[in-house]
C-alpha cells in the first residue's frame, strides 16, 4: 500500500476512492508520513460483541494494551478502536500472558456467549422435534 493512500485526506488524489469505501476505518484520521517514518506501528482492535460501549471494558482493554506500549488513537464505534505505539520502544513480541498483536479482545465475554449459543442450539435440537411430534399427535 502506497504512502499516499495511507495519508489520503480531503482533496488528495486518493479521496474519490476513499469516498466509495464504507466503514469506520475508511473515515478515520489518516496516518501521517511522519508517523510512518518515525517507526510508529498501528493496529485496530475489535470487539465482535460491541463491548467498547462499556467504559469499564474499554478502560480494562486499554490498560492491557498499554502494558505493551499501545495508546489510543481513536474509537471508531462500539466494535473497533485504533491504537499506535513506537516499535523501537517495544521490540518484544510477547508481554507476560498477553499478545501485543492481538486484534480480537472479547475474551471471556465471547466464550460465555458462544457457550450460551451452544446450549440454546442443543435445546432447540432436542425439544423442537418433540414439540412438533406433540402438535402433530394432537392435531391428527
DSSP states along 56-98: HHHHHHHHHHHTTT-EEEEE-SSSEEEEEEEGGG---S-BTTB
- For residues 5 and 133, the model is more confident at 133
**Model pLDDT for residues 13-59, shown as the tens digit of each residue:** 444 444 344 455 656 667 776 666 678 889 999 998 888 999 999 99
What domain range includes position 31?
3-106
Give the tens place of pLDDT for each residue, 54-90.
999 999 999 999 988 899 999 999 999 999 998 888 7
> Are 59 and 88 in a shared domain?
yes
Q: Say if residue 102 is in the same domain as residue 112.
A: no
Distance, in Å, from the CA atom of 128 to the CA atom of 61, rounded to the nearest integer, reads: 40
Half-sphere exposure of residue 112, counting CA atoms within 13 Å on the CB side?
5
**Is 28 in the same domain as 76?**
yes
Number of domains in the chain: 2
Based on the domain organization, do 96 and 121 belong to the same domain? no
> Same structural domain for residues 112 and 99?
no
Give yes or no: residues 71 and 125 share one domain.
Answer: no
> Grid coordinates representing 33?
508520513
Instruction: Provide the whole-model pTM.
Output: 0.57
List Cβ neighbours of 37 (8 Å cut-off, separation of 6 or more): none
Q: Are residues 59 and 90 in the same domain?
A: yes
Average pLDDT over residues 100-112: 76
Q: Are residues 51 and 102 in the same domain?
A: yes
Same domain, 24 and 66: yes
Q: Are residues 100 and 118 part of one domain? A: no
Same domain, residue pair 58 and 97: yes
* Residues 9 and 25 grouped into a single domain: yes
Amino acid at each position: 500500500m502506497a504512502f499516499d493512500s495511507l495519508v489520503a485526506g480531503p482533496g488528495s488524489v486518493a479521496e474519490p476512492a476513499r469516498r466509495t469505501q464504507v466503514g469506520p476505518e475508511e473515515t478515520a484520521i489518516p496516518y501521517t508520513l511522519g508517523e510512518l517514518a518515525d517507526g510508529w506501528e498501528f493496529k485496530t482492535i475489535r470487539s465482535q460483541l460491541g463491548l467498547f460501549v462499556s467504559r469499564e471494558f474499554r478502560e480494562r482493554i486499554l490498560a492491557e494494551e498499554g502494558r505493551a506500549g499501545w495508546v489510543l488513537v481513536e474509537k471508531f464505534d462500539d466494535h473497533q478502536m485504533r491504537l499506535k505505539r513506537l516499535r523501537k520502544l517495544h521490540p518484544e513480541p510477547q508481554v507476560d500472558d498477553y499478545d501485543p498483536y492481538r486484534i480480537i479482545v472479547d475474551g471471556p465475554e465471547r466464550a460465555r456467549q458462544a457457550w450460551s449459543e451452544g446450549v440454546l442450539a442443543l435445546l432447540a435440537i432436542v425439544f423442537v422435534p418433540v414439540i412438533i411430534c406433540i402438535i402433530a399427535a394432537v392435531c391428527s
